[in-house]
Structure 1
Amino acid sequence: MFKMPRVVPDQKTKFESDELFRRLARETEVRYTGYRDRPLEERRQRFQAGVREGHTEMAFMTNGTNMYLQLATGFNSKEVDFEKEPGKVHLRSCFIMNGVCVRWRGYVDLERLDGVGCLEYDEEAAAEEDRFLREEIEKYKARLREFEEKQRAFRVPTTSHAHHAHSHAHAEQANIQVR
């Protein structure tokens, strides 16, 4: 079965030329958007709990783009770092957005629940997804060739000679005159 590709053919060009990506690639103000109806202290607790569980919601304040980030947690995780800077958590999250492999990178102040973040082009993930895309395209082409070969095998041969002989027989019948 053909799988729909997850990425566009030239991810880097799209990342560099697409207006949304260009805006999100600049470091800009970000804010935690979860539980906005709750008191600030509860939001702080829920933010930290969510980050430790491996997820959070962030928004780019300059254009209102909201993202649900999945974070790898655990002993050797480089995606969540509470130790790098006191009072802040540094985050990284890799995902595919609009057909391009990207990495969300930034930090959030644990008191104010805002900070600075940006999107970066994820070269390693893009190379892996490109390889997968090329494999899927080759599989699709092979299946298409196989299908076309089967179609040719089942077709009834219609040559111009057979068609001509059949037409000639009808013509002879039409020329018979009864007296």
Structure 2
Amino acid sequence: MMMNEPVPVSTPLLGHYESPLPPLYEPPPPGPPKPRLMFKMPRVVPDQKTKFESDELFRRLARETEQVRYTGFRDRPSEERRQKFQSQCRDGCTELAFVNTGLNLFLSFTPAPGGYSPDVDFNKEPGKVHLKSHFIMNGVCVRWRGYLDLERLDGVGCLEYDEDSARLEDAMLREELDKYKARIKEFDDKQRSFKPFATASTAK
């Protein structure tokens, strides 16, 4: 064989590579699936009215003297912002902020088929729009009520406790808690019925 002559080399196919690390996914063990107790997080606290009356933030926002301001489209000229604000109100939503607290809110209004929302009133006072909006804040059903000057895009508003909405949310909360308690009881009953069988099997 001459120097520097290429030598043919046969390379066998490599076998399946097996990592020494455990697999990322372990299949579930055989047998019936374990029961899952799912609880849907409530949207409201158990005693909404007490929280609304005692919480310092709610107490501040409940004062009608709290100044509010439209915060949408801040980079646009004043006239365009006025048009955008009125257009948003008619479309069913707008963005406002409580000036003193710095709290920003995205308000939506009750839709009305074939017309403007009853929560938006341009006719109550010339040059102003009166607004109402219902929502849940920090686990409490509240209603925003106030008005804004259509020229300056600021005005006065406050939060009120929304008793009607709170009543509905409380009923849904109680229903969800009852369902969860029933699932807990069912789970405990199954566990108790399984234990004697397991004990008997172990004794054998």
- Please give the TM-score of this superposition, normalised by the length of structure 1: 0.85
Who is 1:8 aligned against?
45
- The 8 Å contact of residues 94 and 104 in structure 1, kept in 2 or not, is answered as yes
Could you tell me which residue of structure 2 aligns to residue 169 of structure 1?
none
Counterpart in 2 of 1:123? 163
Please tell me whether the aligned partners of residues 30 and 60 of structure 1 are also in contact (alpha carbons under 8 angstroms): yes
User: Are residues 149 and 138 of structure 1, via their aligned partners in 2, closer, same or farther at CA, if it must alter by over 3 Å?
Assistant: same
Q: Contact 2:90–2:116 (CA<8 Å) still a contact in 1?
A: no
Counterpart amino acid of residue 121 in structure 1: Y
Deviation by residue 1:119-163 (Cα, 9 ceiling, x = unmatched)? 00000000110011011100000011011111112224649xx98
Letter in 1 for 2:123: E
Q: Which has the higher helix share?
A: 1
Q: 1:141 maps to which residue? A: 181
Distance in 2 (CA, whole Å) between partners of 1:145 and 1:82 is: 55
Deviates more, 1:65-74 or 1:96-105: 65-74
For normalisation by structure 2, the TM-score amounts to: 0.75
Q: Which residue of 2 aligns with 1:80?
A: 120
1:24-57 per-residue CA deviation (whole Å, 9 max, x = no partner) reads 0001110000011111001001101111110100
Specify the alignment match of 1:171 in structure 2.
none
Q: Give 1:73 deviation, angstroms.
A: 3.9
Cα distance change, pair 35–76 in 1 and its aligned pair in 2 (3 A): closer
Q: Which moved more, 1:66-75 or 1:121-130?
A: 66-75
Of the three residues 84, 100, 103, the one matched with 2:140 is: 100
Equivalent residue of 1:141, what SS?
Answer: helix
Distance 2:174 2:138 in 1: 18
SS at 1:72 equivalent: coil
Instruction: Give every structure 1 segment of 4 or more consecutive aligned residues whose post-TM-superposition deviation is greater than 2 Å.
Output: 73-78, 156-159
1:50 aligned to 2:66?
no
* Alignment-mate amino acid for residue 40 of structure 2: K
Report deviation, 1:66: 0.5
Equivalent residues of 1:79, 1:91 under 8 A apart = yes
Correspondence for 2:72 among 34, 51, 58: 34
